[in-house]
Every structure is written in C-alpha cells, then in structure tokens.
Amino acid sequence: EIIIAKDAEQAAAVVADRFEEVLHARGEDGAVLGLATGSSPVLTYRELISRHREQGLSFAHARAFLLDEYIGLSADHEQSYHRFIRDTFTGHVDIPDELVLSPDGEAPDPRAEAVRYDASIGEAGGVDIQILGIGANGHIGFNEPTSSFGSRTRVKTLTEQTVRDNARFFSSSDEVPIHVLTQGLETIREARRIVLIATGEGKARAVRDMVEGPVSAACPASILQMHPAVTVVVDESAARDL
C-alpha cells in the first residue's frame, strides 16, 4: 500500500493512525511496537505524544523494541539511539521505561548481544507494528546494501555514505561509530505490520528502487515487496520518481 501525503505533517498523521489502530486492537494484551530512529519518524512521534496528551491515547500496556544501536555508545550517550528514542518519544508518553528495549551498544560481546536481542523480540511475541525510515541508499535499520535477506540481528559496518549522512547529529564525522548492532532483514520482516515513512526529495530514488525496482540486496528495502502488510507513506517530494 502506497500513500502519497500532501506533506510531512500529513504523512506523520497517517502513520500515527496506524499505530493508534494497533494500540486499540491489542488493548490490555499490550501492543509490541517496533521503533526507529532518524529524523523521518520524529513528526509521527510528536503526533503520538500530542494524541497521548490531548486525547488520552495510552501506551501503558505496550512495550517497544528499537531497530538498531551504535556499538561503543552507552545507553545514556547523547547520540545513542536508546537515548534518542527516550528524548523524542517514549519519555513523553506512558510506556514503561524498562519495556523500551534496544541492543546494548556496550555489551562486551556484541555478537552474543545480537543473538540475545533477536531472541528477546520473539519471546515478547514478535512485533505488531514496525515503523521504518529509509536511508538514501535504500537501507532499513542499518542493513546496508548487500545485506542478506535472511539476516538476523547482527553486527554491521556502516558505509561511508551512511556515516556522512548521520554525521549531522555528531560534532564531526570522526565521532560517528562505524560499527552497529541492527535487526536483520529477516527479523524486520517478521513484524506483522510495517509502516515506512519517507519525506523529502533526498529519498525519492531510494523510494523508487524500493517500490518499483527489482527485489535486490542492492536496495535492502526492496525486500518489503514480499511482506503482506506494508504501508509506505511518502510526501510528494519523496514520491517524485514513482
């Protein structure tokens, strides 16, 4: 399902609607939310926070799993994804803080941490709804081009482009960690519902390759063509090449 929204705000409202549906459907059983970092979901998080404050939308029974984390940054580091998600979203709603989980970027054995984290998602019953952004090179989570479609949570090395793209959050690109822990493409694909949000013309090519290109490891997001319940929400700029 492709939804072309007028602008980024409208796109965020559409994604927030999907989250709200799942939260209501799961009720007290507790929805399992798959959360992403990056700038793309920020307006969605803002919208969900205002629905929490103004309409009483509750996350009290929910739990959340993050897609990825930098290796070497503590959970409290300003640029860690764990901190980012708390600052931009979960710290402003009623989801229990201890149920917002992310790979531990400081684990002494990152490979073992990847296996543990992957299993913990399954033990929670799997993700009900996963929000995704997309990298300019078609990556999702930190599954860079050539990632295996069968991959599980694991250690990855970032491409130079991704390091450059993410350097804007750090004082220089030298500070961007080059190793990360990320859910694999197969792990992401197990989410029962996926909503991918992309805005701005910088994403137009990646969106076209994902939606209309061949299913190819050259564009990791193209694997979403094989998922039965994906909604891609784009603004007019990101939809330019469709």
Binding site for ligand GLP (CB under 6 A): 36-40, 67-68, 133-135, 141-142, 162, 166
Tell me how far, at minimum, the Cβ of 200 lies from ligand GLP, in Å: 8
Q: Which one of 113, 137, 166, 235 is the catalytic residue? A: 137
Minimum CB separation of residue 180 from ligand GLP in Å reads 8
Output the DSSP codes for the chain: -EEEESSHHHHHHHHHHHHHHHHHHHGGG--EEEE--SSTTHHHHHHHHHHHHHH----TT-EEEESEEETT--TTSTTSHHHHHHHHTGGGSSS-GGGEE---TT-SSHHHHHHHHHHHHHHTT--SEEEE---TTS-BTTB-TT--TT--SEEEE--HHHHHHHGGGSSSGGGS-SEEEE--HHHHHTSS-EEEEE-SGGGHHHHHHHHHS-S-TTSGGGGGGG-SSEEEEEETTTTTT-
Selecting among 104, 139, 143, 209, the annotated active-site residue is: 139
For ligand GLP, which is the closer residue by CB, 25 or 225? 225
- Give me the amino acid identity at 147: S
Note if 139 is an active site residue.
yes
The one catalytic residue in 47, 68, 128, 165 is 68
Which residue, 51 or 156, is less far from ligand GLP as judged by CB? 156
User: Looking at beta carbons only, is 57 or 139 nearer to ligand GLP?
Assistant: 139
77 in catalytic set = no
Nearer to ligand GLP among residue 18 and residue 30 (C-beta) = 18
* Shortest separation between residue 163's beta carbon and ligand GLP, angstroms: 10
Cα 210 from Cα 177, distance rounded (Å)? 27
Which of 144, 165, 209, 235 is an active site residue?
A: 144
Closest approach, Cβ 162 to ligand GLP, in A, equals: 6
Give the residue numbers marked as catalytic. 68, 137, 139, 144
